[in-house]
């Protein structure tokens, strides 16, 4: 996906939750000028807890769900036979639609010979937008009880801006929500920690990103704890270590107060700026 030489989409991801992915995303955004920050962890968004936005605007996210007109339906079962997710059950005198397992493909409405199915909009979440300092923030919230986060992630990504730096905070893990977030990115920053669990999940995420085909590098957070197995693995695989953030009391204290550490520790602002310059050079050389 070509965004132009001045455009950049960088996704901050991690296989394991709690590695500091959101911390890196927020502090990176605050270290740069005129950035757009997107929280794609719509099941548990937390970027806003560090940025404390005011004047937040909200918009609904909807998906199309089939609705059956029983006056027209002949109960032929073609819709239920077509649906690969078993979201429609056709009985002798009634049709049941299971909204929350429907993938909104629209196929049932197309295949119905009696045109008895129409699609209605159903709200599954919301998008929140605000501006904090020089950062434009967009984050999604999946409604409680909704099982599918991808439609809300797509709605968040629809706000990506051309000719700008866009930073996406991905959900943890390696599921479809992460794949949806990473797709169309120019670069992925994988955040890990030097522990056995951190390395295990990092390896899983590397496999996923390799399959997608997006260039990536690694930030080792809390680098002064654990062991050096993570660094050895990255060196062996020739995967660049973009930055190391030590386990530091100053950073922990600021985090506990909901304060991004670059606001008081300017040396890290400079390191994150240098990291972004390196990423931009890699991306521009690939374009």
Structural domains present in the chain:
8-61+124-286 (3.40.50.300), 70-115 (3.30.70.20)
Confidence class for position 71, pLDDT limits 50, 70, 90: very high
pLDDT at residue 4, rounded to an integer: 47
**In sequence order, which ranges of the chain are alpha helices (DSSP H)?**
21-31, 47-51, 78-82, 107-111, 150-157, 176-182, 196-212, 229-236, 249-256, 266-286
Residue 110 — left, alpha, or beta (φ > 0 → left; ψ -120 to 50 → alpha)?
alpha
pLDDT(195) > 50? yes
- Give me the chain's average pLDDT, please: 94
Average pLDDT over residues 127-136: 95
């Amino acid at each position: 996906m070509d965004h132009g030489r001045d455009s950049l989409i960088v996704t901050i991801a991690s296989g394991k939750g709690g590695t500091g992915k959101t911390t890196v995303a927020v502090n990176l955004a605050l270290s740069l000028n005129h950035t757009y920050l997107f929280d794609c962890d719509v099941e548990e968004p937390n970027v806003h807890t560090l940025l404390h936005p005011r004047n937040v605007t909200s918009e609904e996210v909807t998906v199309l769900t089939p609705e059956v007109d029983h006056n027209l339906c002949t109960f032929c079962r073609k819709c239920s036979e077509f649906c690969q997710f078993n979201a429609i059950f056709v009985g002798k005198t009634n049709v049941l639609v299971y909204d929350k397992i429907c993938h909104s493909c629209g196929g049932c409405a197309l295949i119905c010979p009696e045109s008895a199915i129409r699609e209605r909009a159903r709200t599954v979440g919301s998008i929140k937008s605000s501006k904090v300092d020089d950062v434009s923030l967009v984050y999604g919230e999946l409604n409680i009880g909704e099982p599918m986060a991808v439609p809300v992630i797509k709605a968040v990504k629809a706000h990506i801006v051309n000719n700008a730096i866009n930073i996406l905070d991905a959900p943890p893990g390696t599921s479809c929500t992460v794949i949806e977030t990473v797709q169309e990115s120019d670069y992925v920053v994988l955040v890990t920690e030097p522990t056995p669990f951190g390395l295990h999940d990092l390896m899983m995420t590397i496999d996923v990103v390799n399959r997608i085909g997006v260039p990536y590098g690694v930030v080792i957070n809390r680098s002064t704890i654990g062991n050096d197995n993570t660094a050895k693995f990255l060196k062996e695989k020739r995967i660049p270590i973009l930055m190391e953030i030590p386990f530091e009391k100053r950073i922990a204290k600021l985090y506990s107060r909901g304060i991004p550490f670059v606001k008081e520790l300017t040396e890290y602002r400079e390191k994150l700026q240098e990291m972004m310059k390196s990423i931009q050079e890699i991306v521009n050389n690939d374009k």
